[in-house]
Amino acid sequence: MKSTSGSAGAQKKKMQGYVGFSNYPNQVHRRSVKRGFNFTLMVVGESGIGKSTLINTLFDSKIFSDREEMPPSAEPTKGVDVTSMSADIQENGVKLRLTVVDTPGFGDSINNEDAWQPILENIESRFDAYLAQENRVNRSKISDNRIDAVIYFIKPTGHCLRAIDIEFMKRLHTKVNLIPIVAKADTLTAREMEQFKAKILADINYHGIQIFKPVSDEFDDPETVADNREILSKIPFAVIGSEKHVERPDGSQVRGRRYPWGIIEVENENHNDFVKLRQMLLRTHMEELKDSTDMVLYENYRTQKLLSMGHVQDNNVFREFNPLVQLEEERRAHEAKMQKMEAEMTAVFQQKVQEKESKLKQSEEELYARHKEMKTVLEKQRAELDEKKKRAEATARPITPMEQHATKGKKKNIFSGF
């Protein structure tokens, strides 16, 4: 959001001495340094592709500890986990709260069709949390844990992007700043890497995927413009990571990987693009990433979300206020709403009545059926008892009047005892 040039009324004045408002950026700087910054990074890639190593190398600290070795009998992780790790690091008095979000399990199963889903949900939930905080009554303390950038690790196959790469990037490129990198850059020779990068960019353009790119505008000095162009020429970055130091033939110690045929150095720009990645991510474009997350990605998300919830942009606020027209419109809108509600209610009412009717009918039928059943059972019982009575009368001796009295009274009981 670049400031518009002064509106028609402002005049350009020249000052005769040093006033001092040029010190304003310094004041901003001092305040932000006091406050500290936070930066949230997410890493996505299959297991073993070098995510932890790269993060530890970028920030030169052991953010991620070495992964423990599980026995072969351990169950492989099902699905994708989203875990986060925070670290407070300080450099030259500037405090940074760095949060790295890891996604173990991505791309490791046999079926990875929905591997992107938990990740997208996590990103959106962070937006939701921020949205909720913004809508609070007391907004003095808002904690921002939105994802500022996603580093996506591409396997160095030498061919075009894999299905899972394209699927993931297409699903997420409008929600986060996407920074694809080629992992394990020591797999490919310089020429192979050039061709591979071209294929990746072709695939990205073909599928309309938006990745984060440094752009220069007219306010930037020529040095920055040149830097940006250099960075842009290396995208996607082909990097390696290493936490270990190795000794070069000339005795110096560098971070790198030692092979029987040579040593690849992390910070040697001829060997890989690590330096460019670090430069873009931390030294020059961190603010831009945060800005883009806040102003572009988050705003888009918020707009979509509110629209889908039924809020309507009310542009009437900007037009001239005509009370009569306003009232008329409001009345109409209100009536329409009332009608709609009425219609809905009648519909619901009808439906409920129908349901109740059918239920009652059903229970009526059931009762009837039960009644019939009981009746037949009763008939049967009565028939049985009649039979028994006949048999009993046939075999039994004639009853004495005293017994008759007794049995008459007990008749019911005996029979009801069956």
Partner 1 sequence: MASNDVQDYVGFDTITQQMERKFLKRGFNFNVILVGESGMGKSTLVNSIFASHLIDSQGRRAAQEVIRKTTEIAPVTQTLEENGVRVRLTIVDTPGFGDQCNNEGCWVPVIKYIKDQHAAYLERELKPQRDRVIVDTRIHACLYFLNPGSRGLRPLDVEVLKRLTEVTNVIPVIAKSDSMTIEERTAFKRRIKEELAFHRIVVFPYACEDDSEEDRVLNASIRELIPFAVVGSEEVMELDGKLVRGRRHGWGVINIFDENHSDFVHLRNFMLRTHLSDLVEVTAQRHYEQFRTSQLRQIKELRAQQAAAAATGGPHAMPTQAPPQAPVANVMQHQPMTQV
Task: Tell me the window of 14-22, 26-34, 156-164, 346-354 that interacts with partner 1 (CB under 8 A).
Answer: 156-164
Backbone angles phi, psi at 46, to 5 degrees: -70, 165
In the region spanning residues 61 to 90, those forming contacts with partner 1, defined by CB under 8 A, are: 67, 69-70, 72-73, 76
Residue 154's DSSP bridge partners are: 182
Among 128, 144, 203, 267, binds partner 1 (CB under 8 A): 203
In the region spanning residues 378 to 417, those forming contacts with partner 1, defined by CB under 8 A, are: none
Nearest to 279 by CA among 271, 291, 267: 267
**Residue 189 touching partner 1 (CB under 8 A):** yes
Among 133, 145, 187, 292, binds partner 1 (CB under 8 A): 187
**Residue 258 touching partner 1 (CB under 8 A):** yes
DSSP code of 399? P
In the region spanning residues 264 to 283, those forming contacts with partner 1, defined by CB under 8 A, are: 264-265, 268, 270-271
Q: Which is nearer to partner 1, 214 or 256 (CB)?
A: 256
**Residue 156 touching partner 1 (CB under 8 A):** yes
Please state the closest distance from residue 329 (CB atom) to partner 1, in A: 51
Distance CA 416, CA 212 (A): 88
DSSP code of 88? E
**Residue 110 touching partner 1 (CB under 8 A):** yes
Q: What is the CA radius of gyration of the chain?
A: 39
The burial class, CB within 10 Å (0-12 / 13-18 / 19+), for 305 is middle
Please state the closest distance from residue 264 (CB atom) to partner 1, in A: 5
**Residue 155 touching partner 1 (CB under 8 A):** yes
Please state the closest distance from residue 143 (CB atom) to partner 1, in A: 35
Distance CA 273, CA 154 (A): 14
Among 121, 213, 226, 262, binds partner 1 (CB under 8 A): 262
Please state the closest distance from residue 358 (CB atom) to partner 1, in A: 44
In the region spanning residues 42 to 61, those forming contacts with partner 1, defined by CB under 8 A, are: 46-50
Structural tokens at position 311: 């809020």
Among 86, 134, 142, 158, binds partner 1 (CB under 8 A): 158
Task: Tell me the window of 11-19, 255-263, 353-361, 364-372 that interacts with partner 1 (CB under 8 A).
Answer: 255-263
Q: Which residue has the tokens 């995510």?
A: 51
**Residue 117 touching partner 1 (CB under 8 A):** no
Distance CA 361, CA 384 (A): 34
How many beta carbons lie within 10 A of that of residue 147, not counting itself? 23
Distance CA 415, CA 258 (A): 100
Q: Which is nearer to partner 1, 36 or 262 (CB)?
A: 262
- Sequence-separated (6 or more) residues with CB below 8 Å from residue 282: 58
**Residue 249 touching partner 1 (CB under 8 A):** no
Nearest to 257 by CA among 10, 414, 57, 47: 57
- Strand 178-182 and strand 237-238: the pairing is parallel
| 8 Å CB contact between 155 and 46 | yes
| Residues in contact with partner 1 by the rule CB under 8 A | 46-50, 67, 69-70, 72-73, 76, 108-113, 115, 155-160, 162-164, 166-167, 184, 186-187, 189-190, 199, 202-203, 205-207, 257-265, 268, 270-271
